[in-house]
Structure 1
Amino acid sequence: MEEALNRTGMDFSHVVRTWFYNNSLLDWYEEFNRARDIFFASRGVFDRLVPASTGIGSGNRENAALLARAFAIRPKSGRVTVKDIPSPLQCSAQDYRSSFSRAVEVDHPLFRQVIVSGTASIAPGGESVHLGDIDKQTELSLDVIEAILKSRGMGWKDVVRAVAYFKDKDYASHYGKIALRRGLSIMPCIGIQADVCRDNLLFEMELDAAVLKA
């Protein structure tokens, strides 16, 4: 990732969003987090913007241990700013040694974009909650995302892209019913079966929202 950034005149300080697709995620997520911490510390990431992120359990056709993506921005002037956004209903992920921001906001002269990290059923103290209950885990995840959007003057109608991750494919129907009841059925969202970063988490969602400036 860093080599690709360097070829375009950027470095890791310009990264605002990452995705990590770990093969057999639950077998080595702690080791992955330690390696990411070491890399971030060596590049001064903790002194600047810690990117929003999603870490999900997903295999790949190359059978590689890890696939990754990054979204980077190098503003041409001070008119474009990027900052991390706290989650009103959750603590910082860095409080429990997971190196990502809950959300990041890009403020452009023409629009504002909020990038919400993968969000699951995690209490303010960092512990997993509603264990074994897919409906309550989904509801809490959506409540957390909704609170982030509201804190930035946005709502579900402003979502331009979303991905829902289900530990079991049968959980998709549960989300469908909840989304219909909450008025989210027309939101642009795709569903994927994948392991979430903790074995007791059954649902996770990431999304982007944007509003044009007057």
Structure 2
Amino acid sequence: MNVQTKDTIDVNYSTYTNDFGCAEYYLVCKTSDELTYEDALDDLYDAYMESVAEIGLDETTLQFTRIYVSDISNEYRRLRSSRLYKYLCNGAVSVIEQSPIFGPVSILSYHMKSEFSFLNKSVCTSHNGNVLLTEGLNYRLLWSAGNISGGNNSAVQTDGIFSKLDMMLNRSAMSVRENTIRTWIYVRDVDNNYQGMVDSRKDYFSKIGLTDKTRYIASTGIEGKMADTKTLVTMDSLSIGNIRESQIVRMEALSHMSSTIQYGVTFERGTQIRFGDRSHLHISGTASIDSTGAIVHEYDIRQQTMRTIDNIEALLSKHNASLDCMMYLLIYLRNRKHYQCIGDILTSRIPQHVHCIPVEGAVCRPGWLIEMEGVGITNDSTEFPAFM
């Protein structure tokens, strides 16, 4: 649905509601190319506030926001002093340099609202990132945003990030092994630093018991920058407390895509989280890959776009879902100028109600020109407790 409130700002949202659990809202906000950075922040704040008020949301329902900027070294400090950022800090907030295709700033924001029970929120902010813990009747959600660690290479930083996340989760009776279900890993200079992250993550997962025989974590590993140029890796994550292992289901489409471990990488293509009333379908970063793990349609952005969408549809279809259930899609482009070449494909293949955020972000292999990810929600009926 569209709740645009200014000519310079485009605000859209998707929602999932039922008669049992809480309502979920994903807001996608894009700015106009004609705006300066400061004007974009001001207009975006006004439009966001008007939109959430119209939908019936407020600071108590806010869970997580990611802000996409074009030049984080010069824009981060100004962002932190803005009305927009201060409001969004009522939830976990991540800021990453992945230049929006439209305007100086884009945001993806997630809210939850319950008519049945009270959701208890607590926010903690530190120099290593910020954390939101939301406790419901049945589950606890822990969003960790902007997690970083010291070290002189991507491998050391990755190990530190996961170790710190696990220690933080332990304080809430959770762990990476049992409770983390989604990560977003941003790598500065991905062409040179991605392998160090991959190797370190693989070693860490093996140590804690995340293997191809148990499970991995749905994830996106993509080019992204933090304000500090020494930060080579940063991570956002979602963990769920009180969840059982049987609620976490591996998503595969082996006819279209190989398992990731086949080429030495340790993440799930997607993960279905089954609740008593619904399922969350976390689609990892997905590119133009085939059942052998090879790049398909090298150098051809149009054919890669169609194959990427085919792969996502294949993942969803195995779980009785389709693109219609997606709450949003993030589109990463190695070359931002390619967006004008694929607009007609996105319009024809992606349902109109599924709102997209296109940004510039190099995929982990230079030959991949595009990657997509998102979250879907479908009705479900299981013996597990309802969501939140």
TM value normalised by structure 1:
0.93
1:82 aligns with 2:248: yes
CA–CA separation in structure 1 for the residues paired with 2:247 and 2:350: 32
1:29 aligns with 2:194: yes
CA–CA separation in structure 2 for the residues paired with 1:141 and 1:164: 10
Alignment of 1:114-193 (within 5 A): 114-193=281-360
Q: 1:139 to 1:99 in 2, by over 3 A?
A: same
CA–CA separation in structure 2 for the residues paired with 1:152 and 1:77: 19
**Number of residues of Structure 1 aligned to a counterpart in Structure 2:** 213
CA–CA separation in structure 1 for the residues paired with 2:253 and 2:371: 15
CA–CA separation in structure 2 for the residues paired with 1:158 and 1:54: 20
CA–CA separation in structure 1 for the residues paired with 2:318 and 2:214: 22
Deviations 1:81-102 (A, max 9, x none): 1111112411101111110011
- 2:185 is paired with a residue whose SS is strand
1:102 aligns with 2:269: yes
Report the AA paired with residue 277 of structure 2: L
CA–CA separation in structure 2 for the residues paired with 1:15 and 1:206: 18
CA–CA separation in structure 1 for the residues paired with 2:349 and 2:190: 31
Q: 1:183 to 1:98 in 2, by over 3 A?
A: closer
Confirm or deny: 8 A CA contact 1:15 1:70 kept in the other structure: yes
Confirm or deny: 8 A CA contact 1:12 1:45 kept in the other structure: no
**RMSD (Å), alpha carbons:** 1.6
Report the AA paired with residue 192 of structure 2: D
CA–CA separation in structure 1 for the residues paired with 2:370 and 2:194: 17
Report the AA paired with residue 217 of structure 2: P
CA–CA separation in structure 1 for the residues paired with 2:321 and 2:355: 16
Q: 1:38 to 1:76 in 2, by over 3 A?
A: closer
- 1:45 is paired with a residue whose SS is coil
Q: Which runs of 5+ in 1 are unaligned?
A: none
Deviations 1:109-159 (A, max 9, x none): 010111111000111100112111000011000000011111111111110
1:12 aligns with 2:176: yes
CA–CA separation in structure 2 for the residues paired with 1:213 and 1:35: 36
Residue 2 (structure 1) aligns with = 166
Residue 59 (structure 1) aligns with = 225
Q: Which runs of 5+ in 2 are unaligned?
A: 1-164, 382-388
Residue 204 (structure 2) aligns with = 39
CA–CA separation in structure 2 for the residues paired with 1:12 and 1:76: 12
In our comparison, the structure showing a higher alpha carbon Rg is 2
Residue 92 (structure 2) aligns with = none
Q: 1:150 to 1:27 in 2, by over 3 A?
A: same
- 2:241 is paired with a residue whose SS is coil
Q: 1:142 to 1:9 in 2, by over 3 A?
A: same
Bigger relative CO (Cα 8 Å, ≥ 6 apart) = 1
Report the AA paired with residue 36 of structure 1: R
Aligned identity (percent) is: 25
Report the AA paired with residue 133 of structure 1: D
CA–CA separation in structure 1 for the residues paired with 2:306 and 2:367: 16
TM value normalised by structure 2:
0.53
Selected match of 1:195 from 349, 362, 367: 362
Q: 1:180 to 1:8 in 2, by over 3 A?
A: same
